[in-house]
Amino acid sequence: MKEIKINLKAYQTKETEDLLGKELSALKNDELVYPEIKKLNLTNREAETFIASLIDFKEDVHYCANCPGLDHCAKSHPHFRLKLEKDGAFLNRHYDPCEKMVSLVSFHSRYIRCSFPEEWRDEDLRDIEQSKSARTNALMAMAQAVKGSGQWIYLNGNAGSGRSYMLACLANYVTKEQGKGAFVDTAELLAEMKELSIKNRDTFESLLKELSNASILVFDDLGNEYKTEYVYTTVLYPLLSSRDKAGLITCFASDFPMKEFISMYRSKIGDERASQLEALLKRRCKKEFDVTGVNIH
């Protein structure tokens, strides 16, 4: 079948010609959009024919350049980007997931649980400023842990010192290289697992196994959890003991120095169990890193 050729000029008024010229000129002068349009190798006539698609593409590119965030995407096709593709005499439109959606899907596939802020999702060890000695020493220990040193990481410090951020960066790096990990709010996790151990034993056992085998497990805000002998013997110590035997990276971010943390548990679980916990942490962590006053963000 012969291609039907339409003389667009016959249907254009002076006003529409001027408008079309302005739109084409605007596209050509758009530094954000024109480099992509140029790759299509359109003739002038084709650009005029497909002007509606080109304008839609321009609007899509600029909207994404000022992305309001995945939760606030108001596009007609949320979380997708418009793509144009030349196919003979036609200009096809299709949609691909946007970079942030791809990143989010990848992120969720790497974590069993994750409690750190959304803005840390793409950070890793290379994003941590290293000028402070306390932070540098901690980073060196993290780097060795990634290489298989077997050392666990215990960071304590004041609010804003970056202890949680540093461990989030480490977790992101490890999960990309070694598979699924977890970054948990200690109080929330232990409370949830206590309830599961009583009401849903199968789910409890499944979650305990998942966390025991995670490539990295970060206990955030350690020491502020509700401490009982039951939670210690049913959840916390079995989890730490399993990871100890498997030689898996385990990290802690706390308001409290290790000695103070152990002391708080001693008053709840007794000397024998507290000494058991202390011996494990000291053997695995070797030392703790106080990053108090070393603001990072």
Of 82, 77, 4, 88, give the one whose Cα is nearest residue 40: 88
Residue with tokens 């008053």: 267
pLDDT, one tens digit per residue, over 132-191 is 666 788 999 999 999 999 999 999 988 778 899 999 999 999 999 899 999 999 999 999
Q: What pLDDT sits at residue 5?
A: 53
Residue with tokens 């497990």: 217
* C-alpha to C-alpha distance for 103 and 122, rounded to whole angstroms: 8
Residue with tokens 């509606």: 52
Beta carbons of 220 and 116 less than 8 angstroms apart: yes
pLDDT, one tens digit per residue, over 5-55 is 545 554 456 666 767 778 888 888 888 888 888 888 888 888 788 888 888
* C-alpha to C-alpha distance for 3 and 198, rounded to whole angstroms: 73
User: Residue 239 — pLDDT band, cuts 50, 70, 90?
Assistant: very high
Distance of CA 163 to the CA centre of its chain: 17
Strands 216-222 and 80-87: unpaired
Distance of CA 261 to the CA centre of its chain: 29
* C-alpha to C-alpha distance for 135 and 170, rounded to whole angstroms: 13
Please name each of the domains of the chain with its CATH number. Answer: 15-97 (no CATH), 107-290 (3.40.50.300)
